[in-house]
Amino acid sequence: MNKNDDEKFIRKAIKLALKAKGKTSPNPLVGAIIVKDGKIISKGYHQGFGKPHAEIEAINSSPISLADSTLYVTLEPCSVWGKTPPCVETIKQIPFKRIVIGMKDPNPYVNGRSIKILRDAGYDVEVGICEDEVKKLNPYFQNYIDCLKTYTVLKVALSKDNFIYSKNFPEKYITTVESRIDLHKKRFEFDGILVGSNTVNVDDPLLDTRNIKIEYKPKVVILDFSNKLDYSKKIFKDKKRLKIIIVSKQFENYLKNEKDIKYIFVKNKDESWDFIKNRMCDFGVISLLIEGGKKVFVDSLKHSVVDEVWIYRSKIKLLNGIKLDIERILKNKKFKLIEEKKIKDDTFKRYICSQEL
């Protein structure tokens, strides 16, 4: 195989990995392909947390002998016990001709260890094929490995004159359809979406990806410190979707025996934001998108929870309503603008916390 063939098959493995988008966290998306005599004989991908890894899926799915075949895998095979046995030990039992790996596993417990094990066992191992493309598969995995914290992005839609809502504006949305499609594409990157109870009660949002006609429903995190959440809203009709509701310890009239609802009881707002930053990983949420409303936006920045901010700014002026001069806040918080582009008539800006640079 030449380099072009290696890149071709790693890219196919990347596409395969994407089939499990939203199902593997906190594990990364991983795809694997086995090639023999220039033809794909088997495929596999990590289908969900606790399920067999991509390499094992591919090995077990092969209809013919794997002798003298090449294993292509997007991420270095694991070498430690977790929910599943270490993949490298299974791979060592197969007489592969070559093993091609997209990138090293950033997990310090692996990080090159499996590569060394395989090379020491006599395998021809190639590493770093389409590495930049493989990294894009799991944009927030590295942060989780490094910090064991959730990477948090705040998204806000603003009018030209800094309003996020006006009861006098006849339309539901102030941004264009194109901006909403862009957001729904970006939602695919996140394990969870956070909103306040008032946003649920007033907007009755679905928080899904319907605008791109691909069904993906991240976990929903709801801040309900005032205990005013309306459980008749649409989000609660989907019993397959986990809702993590953060409430005060004084709250007693919560729903019991609901498998799709998990309550987190906190003493105060400081404790709630500490949980969001440091404990959401316990629920497989290593990436979180904050979508509303104003109090949630302001408090998340005040408590230094936010790593990035995305602003979709409309050309429309609302003149009155709920105002939020978020760019002034970001300047005071030392966020830096790193991306700006037009989306139809809207402007998209991406800011990153300066300490992340």
Listed as own residue / partner, the contacts of 248-257 with beta carbons closer than 8 Å and 24 or more positions apart are 251/224, 251/227, 253/227, 255/231
Is residue 23 packed enough to be buried (19+ CB in 10 Å), middle (13-18) or exposed (0-12)? middle
Whether 147 has a binding-site annotation, put simply, is no
Q: Tokens representing 284? A: 């497989």
Tokens at residue 290, please? Answer: 């904050």
**DSSP string for residues in 4-69:** HHHHHHHHHHHHHHGGGTTTSTTSPP-EEEEEETTEEEEEEE--STTSPPHHHHHHHH-SS--TT-
Report, as residue numbers or ranges, the catalytic residues. 55
Axis-axis angle for helices 269-278, 294-302 (nearest 10): 80
Q: Which amino acid is at 26?
A: P
Angle of CA points 339, 355, 246, to nearest 5°: 90
CA 239 remoteness from chain centre: 21
**16 assigned to a ligand binding site:** no
Q: Would the annotation count 184 as a binding residue?
A: no
Whether 274 has a binding-site annotation, put simply, is no
Residue 130 annotated as binding site: no
CA separation for the pair 281, 152 (Å, rounded): 12
A 10 A CB-CB count for 8 gives 17
* 11 among annotated binding-site residues: no
Annotated binding residue at 207?
A: yes
Which residue, among 190, 200, 194, has the nearest Cα to 156 in the 3D structure? 194
On whether 215 is known to bind a ligand per the annotation, the reply is no
List CB contacts of 60: < 8 A, sequence separation 6 or more: 44, 52
Annotated binding site for substrate: 187, 203, 207, 210, 291
Annotated binding site: 53, 78, 87, 157, 187, 199, 203, 207, 210, 291
Annotated binding site for NADP(+): 157, 199
